[in-house]
Structure 1
Amino acid sequence: MNSVNLIKYFIILTAFFALSHSQMQAQQRFSIGVIPEFNLDYKLSERVFVKHGFELQEIFYNKEDDSKLQFNKLDIQNILGFITSEKSSVGVGYLFRVKEGHRYYHRTTQQFSFKKTIASLPISHRLRTDQTFSDEKPKFRFRYRVKTVFKFKEEALAAGDKYLAASLETLYIRESQSDDFENRVYLGLGFLINSKSDFEIGLDWRTDDYLVSGFRNRLWLTASYSYHL
């Protein structure tokens, strides 16, 4: 796929987010925020790897209370992974979360990831389950995410290259005898700084509370830096 087509897709998808904004504002529950994120990963052996993630969420617009900039949550996540084949891996993890009001959460995760190529387009799949515990009711989720990367040239990515990343994730949520779903659509522009680091900026649109009253829309502006040891 050439750079002209990639730019067209980026403009179309960005326009989709912009047009959706007016529709989201009509909803009772709508917020906009920012998510800065830092990721670090490295190998312990040929088949064992570790990933660390640090994520902050700040809300600067909330239609429900017309509030200004406010802290939402801070996540610190660690994943221990095992490569099972050339294109698949499994992993287990733990996440510690701090939310507004000094509330603390603990989450355990299990995941299976695999990759495929369709018409020269790399497709990454991830199946994940997680369990969240706090002084509230425990929450259980099943998640499926599909992600791809569009290159601006035919050759393999090299230092200084740009790319587009897009993903779609659906979550089934079970909490306190009730069920719900959440959908996440992400579009980002990435920069390969060098062989060990990359940077992405993007839009992450999340919708949930489909099965309970008060359907919710959240639009996040994301900035992510990853370093690979």
Structure 2
Amino acid sequence: MDYIRLTSIEDPHFTAMHKMMSSIFPAEEVLAFELWKEPIEDPDIHVYVAMNDGKVVGATEYRYYPELRVAMTDFTIIGVMGLGVGRFLYVQRSRDLLRLQWESGTESIGMFAEIYRPQSVSSFKFGNVLSMHPAVRREVLSHIGYQKLDLTYVHPSWDHEGKAVTELDLGFLPSDDALSALPAALISTFLKQYYSALPSKPKEWLEMIAKLDEQSEIDLLPL
């Protein structure tokens, strides 16, 4: 497999990736095709596809915030089972994140990810790929080392309608297994920066941020 970065919506591989994403994730979690133009050209947003025999079989997006010393996995998509796509994306992303740390002269304390709660998802039809089922993905992320932050999490919908998406936990993969909590200010700062691209924020999100700004730290709990 090849690990190829996408930097333009004009790239035919992007069309294939967006189609795959739209077939797997709920509509409120998918940014419209044309709205990808600026984000995908941002050098700090890393969108890669896994290519096998000329076809897009998986994809991942991530970013690294050197000033906060944290990364964020926006999504990981396994489009075809039985090829080792998940492991391939995990290894390639990890190598690239190490490169970003080295180039910035920083050492990451860990990586955020939004993780579906299977019991809260109204539809279990996350595409036709069993490995993308929320229960499977959650257990894989737990196996990798992700934990969940002890807060009632909500995020603005990516369809720009300002709806509150509530079916997820905010997860964190600590670089040090001994880490048991994160500063609330770090989480708040990260979320404000991460969702700065979305102009419409639901009141539930604003209330969550306000609550974070009043706390000192948030515990990490098992998934």
- Tell me if both proteins adopt one fold, taking TM over 0.5 as the criterion: no
Higher strand share: 1
Instruction: Give the TM-score taking structure 2 as reference length.
Output: 0.32
Structure with higher Rg: it is: 1
| Normalised TM-score (structure 1) | 0.31
